[in-house]
Amino acid sequence: MRRPVVKSASRALEVLELFNEQRRPLKLQEIYELLGYPQSSATHLMKTLVHMGYINYNRATRSYVPSCRVRGLGIWMSSAMYGQQRYQRLVETLQERTDETVALSMQNDLFIQYFIIKTPDHEFKAPPTEGNMRLLSDSTSGMALLSRMSDRQVDKICRNINYYERDPGQRVEPAEVIKELNWVRHVGYCYRENAPSPGVSSMAFPLDETVYGIPLALGVGGTTDRLARGKSRITQAVRATIAEFSAELRDEAPMRAPEPEPFYELQGAA
């Protein structure tokens, strides 16, 4: 599913993502060749980013690198997402107990977005990339989050997904999504075999914790045969780890500021 994008905005962000991938200063030619931009467009874009203070230009080497202003954009979120490293500890603890890939995700409009991932040392894995997004209805983490919503809210989300989906064959059927969610609500988690791809399976559980009202889900993924054999053990490990995490949060509650309730109303299809 693709929504219409503002080209200038998307290109500015793609430039910053390119630096995150390359992790080194880049010359103009490298930037427009790696991103497939016209040279003139890349030139104007980089001059704008330099003028706004988000990119540093070294005239001696004719190379660009992100400035400290980019790093500062998300500092205000760090205490919420990574404060006291409790989220990192949650993921690391579960990964050690399951010996599979563990991912903490958050809802982002019609999608889930991975923001902490821990992988095992063995080769039986196919982890997602931190920052990647998937439709709520197309992922176990997304289904875990949808299970906490009413059928009316789920139906509206499905209609919003279909509103932006240009390929009729890729649209979702709200009744089928709700049917699967009834089982997810019954067992407390979503489990899918051979998804998101053949040979890979995953399961995900919703968390009671939110970040600025944004819902979170904790998922475990691995090869289909490994997860099938270890499903019961992994399920117990996830529940125990979440229970410990929740107990820790309750102990911290008097010192923590209250967060707003999750907001599910979406714009788009009527």
CATH number of 36's domain: 1.10.10.10
Mean pLDDT across 67-77: 76
Mean pLDDT across 167-195: 95
Boundary of a domain, candidates 53, 71, 89:
71
The parent domain of residue 251 ranges over: 75-255
At 14 the three-state DSSP class reads: helix
Is 70 exceeded by the pLDDT of residue 264?
A: no
Which pLDDT score is estimated for 270? 40
At 135-149, the pLDDT tens digits run: 999 999 999 999 999
Instruction: State the sign of the Cα–Cα–Cα–Cα dihedral 22, 26, 30, 31.
Output: positive
Rg (alpha carbons) of the chain, rounded to whole number:
21
CA-nearest of 190, 157, 150 to 174 is 157
Number of domains making up the chain: 2
Q: What is the pTM of this model?
A: 0.76
Is 60 exceeded by the pLDDT of residue 268?
A: no
> What is the C-alpha separation between 54 and 71, in angstroms, rounded?
9
131/65 same-domain check: no
- More confidently predicted of 266 and 201: 201
Is 60 exceeded by the pLDDT of residue 263?
A: no
50/83 same-domain check: no
CATH number of 84's domain: 3.30.450.40
Is 70 exceeded by the pLDDT of residue 265?
A: no
Plot region of 141 (φ>0 → left; ψ -120 to 50 → alpha; else → beta) = alpha
Mean model confidence pLDDT for the chain: 87
Which pLDDT score is estimated for 101? 97
Inter-residue contact 93 to 241 (CB < 8 Å) = yes
33/83 same-domain check: no
